[in-house]
């Protein structure tokens, strides 16, 4: 078992370490330890599925006050802003955390633009269930544009039909989902089409953002101060993912930046590959 007491003094977030069950050497970081805002911690191995937790223990210092999420009114209507204000950070023992870990995904930072709602109404199914909620923001200005919802269960499956919805009546052109905050982006950035794809890649390449789909990935603008961009494209049957990634890479290269395209070794996306490997 991982000695979680070594992590209880740290700030809330996710830390990588070796798994005590399937450790493969000094560079092994298959296990993720998530320090919760309430003072506890959980760990989960993305290779063998081993897990453990501590409940009711306090960190060695008082935890910082919970981050207040103000409704980002600009660009969102009242309904979408209310939903975002009701969301919670994704922690390891939450429904969203268990969903992501079951799909071999990293947990995003607590201040990411990806959170979760414990009981969100689905307009087509006429019922409520847990959902990932992502804030779509303008890539250049950070202005809120829309929200993206994915209904889930803790076993790692999407539910309802359709399982994903963008907010009706909100534009998304020029938008992106910041899976890591701007403060984490320095000289390089990775970009994936979808949320789960991005969080799968995050185990080896971060910070990473999600472009929503191939169209948004193709249009991703060149950003000041970012010298290198890696695009993790989907390998879909019609080649739209690869085409979109290469279109974006050409624009970045023309602007004098480093740009690389990474494709999965076979049909699907990088989350498919991560789950097969697990």
Query: Which parts of 60-182 fold into alpha helices (H)?
Result: 78-85, 95-102
As a whole number of angstroms, the distance between CA 195 and CA 105 comes to: 9
Domain layout of the chain by residue ranges? 4-54, 78-104+114-134+148-170, 182-277
Q: Tell me, yes or no, if the two domains 4-54 and 182-277 fold the same way.
A: no
Give the residue with greater pLDDT, 201 vs 46: 201
Give the residue with greater pLDDT, 205 vs 63: 205
- Tens-place pLDDT, residues 107-150: 999 999 999 999 999 999 999 999 999 999 999 999 999 999 99
User: Whole-model pTM?
Assistant: 0.73
- Tens-place pLDDT, residues 150-195: 999 999 999 999 999 999 999 999 999 999 999 999 889 999 999 9
Share of the chain above pLDDT 70, in %: 89
- Which of 66, 73, 131, 63 shows the shortest CA–CA distance to 99? 131
Class of the CATH-defined domain 4-54:
mainly beta
Instruction: Tell which CATH classification among 1.10.760.10, 2.40.30.10, 3.30.1330.60, 3.40.1360.10 matches the domain 182-277.
Output: 3.40.1360.10
């Amino acid at each position: 078992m991982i000695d979680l007491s070594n992590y209880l003094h740290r700030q809330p977030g996710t830390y990588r370490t070796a798994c005590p069950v399937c450790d493969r050497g000094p560079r092994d970081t298959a296990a993720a330890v998530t320090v919760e805002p309430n003072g506890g911690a959980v760990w989960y191995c993305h290779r063998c599925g081993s897990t453990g937790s501590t409940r009711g223990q306090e960190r060695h210092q008082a935890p910082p006050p919970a981050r207040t999420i103000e409704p980002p009114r600009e660009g969102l209507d009242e309904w979408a802003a209310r939903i975002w204000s009701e969301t919670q950070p994704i922690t390891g023992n939450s429904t969203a955390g268990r969903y992501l870990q079951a799909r071999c995904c990293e947990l995003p930072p607590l201040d990411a633009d990806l959170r979760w709602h414990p009981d969100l109404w689905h307009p087509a199914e006429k019922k409520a269930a847990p959902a990932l909620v992502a804030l779509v923001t303008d890539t250049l200005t950070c202005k809120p544009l829309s929200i993206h919802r994915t209904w889930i269960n803790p076993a790692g499956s999407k539910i309802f039909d359709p399982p994903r919805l963008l907010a009706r009546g909100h534009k998304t052109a020029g938008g992106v989902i910041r899976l890591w905050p701007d403060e984490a982006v320095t000289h390089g950035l990775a970009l994936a089409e979808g949320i789960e794809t991005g969080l799968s890649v995050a185990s080896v390449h971060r910070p990473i953002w999600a472009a929503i789909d191939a169209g948004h990935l193709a249009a991703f603008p060149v950003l000041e101060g970012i010298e290198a961009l890696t695009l993790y494209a989907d390998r879909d049957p019609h080649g739209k993912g690869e085409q979109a990634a290469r279109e974006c890479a050409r624009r970045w290269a023309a602007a004098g930046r480093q740009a690389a395209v990474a494709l999965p070794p076979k049909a699907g996306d990088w989350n498919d590959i991560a789950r097969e490997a697990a």
